[in-house]
Chain A
Amino acid sequence: MHTVVSVTLVASYVVVLTFVAVRARAAREYAEFSLARRALPLALVFGSLCATYVGPGFSIGFVGKGFQSGFLFFGIGLAYSLQNVLVGVLVAPRLRALNDCHTLGDAIGQKYDRRCHVLAGVISVGLCTGYAAVMAKAGGVVFKDVFGLPLWSGVVLIVGITTLYTTSGGLRASVVTDAFQFTAFAILLPVVLVLALGFHLEGGIAGFAERAAVATQDGLASKTPFQIIGLVTAFLLGETLIPPYANRALASRTTRVSKHAFVLGGLFSVVWFAVMISLGVAARGIVPAGTDEDHVLLNMVKAIMPTEGYMLLLVVSISVIMSSLDSLLNAGAVVFTQDIVRPIHRLVDGKALDVGRTATVMIAVAAAVAAAAVPTIIDGLLVCYTIWAPAILPVLVLGLWLKKPRPLAGILSMVVGALVAGLSQLAVGGATRVPAILPALGAAVLAYFIGHLLSREKGE
């Protein structure tokens, strides 16, 4: 009986997802594939934005962090919320207001020159592939834990399904399926928390508060102030306007929609982090101490819910992962077409659509292969954050705000930021990896101003 209900649940989910993806229609033009004709309404941009950032790190990872260190990561996560609000107020409307702009590279190309455009494209495609590899690995882990499948087959399964609908429908399919997946996990995971608090909470409210206090103190004691500063910086800047977010800002119906989606997305992250961390704290009374962080949520659901509930969680976990993966694949493909191929070869619309579709498959294959090299989910994300922020953010933000940005400044900043971030991580290694973002950001900003001054002296 349990098996029948479980299979029905999973099958129903797949049927509804397929229906939603089919309703999103196959993209017929490049403008549809890359920016969904710039006609997305607020609810869809907001849902898709949140579904993209709530990947395995901000769900499975945050529950594990709540379990280990209580509300410490809620405080750190607020830096991420602040970043979204600031992007919404200061950057997203300016980005949306640029004409004929499909990607961040386009924006950088408009403000600097073609070399900066292509370089930003190369960095963006690399980062999208890296982030996608982390999502693929997370998908493989879920299938391995639930069905006992080998890691590689779980990776192939999740990457294969996601690639199928993203290649066909482009950004609109990605956004519409994201909204569906967002609905699934934004309702189901809080229900798990309600069940845990209502029926499985040893010691009642007092017990929950005590566990939260003890875990938070443990968490604070396990980190140096320097590590906390590094983490706050990584959460504040690491995911700022990564290509899928930028695509959503650019594809919004109006500048107002773009602004409101980011501001609401930032506010949603506050309540989401509170729910995830609370789940982790509640798990301290349910799951044995010493459980691996990435397995806390799965083990808690196994302990407190019937088999059907466990299957439902599988569906939720896969939703969380697919909604991030499809956005990364689409964004990477659009960036490849728009920032690397188009500045070099003139492409007519139909050809650009073909290149975009081929690039989606290529990035998916590369991510599936690279998934084997990903350490833990959070560590994998932090590696990507550490490179993205220094390599792109100073160039983008200063370019949008300065009256006359200089190409030499852009090139120097991107190259120095990426190199220092990469080398810092290689040099300092695992435990102290997080703060690598600080020297890299400093070096990128310094390189920018050196390039700016040199160009000004030359009168460029």
Chain B
Amino acid sequence: MQTVLIVLVILATAATIASGLWVATGLIAAITSVKPPASVPPKAEHPDHP
């Protein structure tokens, strides 16, 4: 019973740290892929004769 308890606690600890690392990789991907906002293209002129 004691061993089961401590093993569960260790597994929970490992899972928590793994979650932190997973989110860290997602965060790095997100902040390195930020692109400057695309500039708005000038409105196309309406052709007189479509």
Which residues of A pack against B, CB within 8 Å?
20, 23-25, 28, 41-44, 46-47, 50, 176, 179-180, 182-187, 189-191, 193-194, 197, 205-206, 208-209, 212, 268, 270-272, 274-275, 278
Contacts and interface: CB of A to CB of B under 8 A. Distances in A.
A183 B30 CA distance: 14
A95 to B, nearest CB: 22
Contacts of B17: 186-187, 190-191
Given A190-B17, A275-B16, A212 B31 contact: no
> Which 7 residue pairs spanning A and B have beta carbons closest together?
A43-B26, A186-B20, A47-B23, A274-B12, A209-B2, A271-B12, A23-B31
A50 B26 CA distance: 14
Interface of B: 1-3, 5-6, 8-9, 11-13, 15-17, 19-27, 29-31, 34, 37
A50 B13 contact: no
A185 B2 CA distance: 27
Contacts of B37: 28
Given A28-B37, A50-B19, A183 B5 contact: no
Contacts of A184: 20
Contacts of B5: 205, 208-209, 212
Given A20-B31, A176-B30, A274 B8 contact: yes
Given A43-B26, A193-B9, A193-B13, 12 more contacts: A176-B30, A185-B20, A186-B16, A186-B17, A186-B19, A187-B17, A208-B5, A209-B6, A268-B16, A271-B19, A278-B9, A278-B12
Nearest to B7: A205
A46 B23 contact: yes
B23 A190 contact: no
A194 B13 contact: yes
A451 to B, nearest CB: 43
Contact of A183 (B3, B15, B20): B20
B49 to A, nearest CB: 34
B20 A187 contact: yes
B34 A47 contact: no
Nearest to B8: A274
Contacts of A275: 9, 12-13, 16
Given A205-B3, A206-B2, A20 B27 contact: yes
**Which of A43, A197, A274 counts the most B-chain CB atoms under 10 A from its CB?**
A43
Contacts of A189: 16
21 contacts: A24-B31, A25-B34, A42-B26, A43-B26, A46-B19, A47-B27, A176-B30, A179-B24, A179-B27, A183-B20, A183-B27, A186-B17, A186-B20, A190-B17, A193-B13, A197-B9, A271-B12, A271-B16, A272-B12, A274-B12, A275-B12
Given A190-B17, A268-B19, A205 B6 contact: yes
A394 to B, nearest CB: 33
A24 B8 CA distance: 37
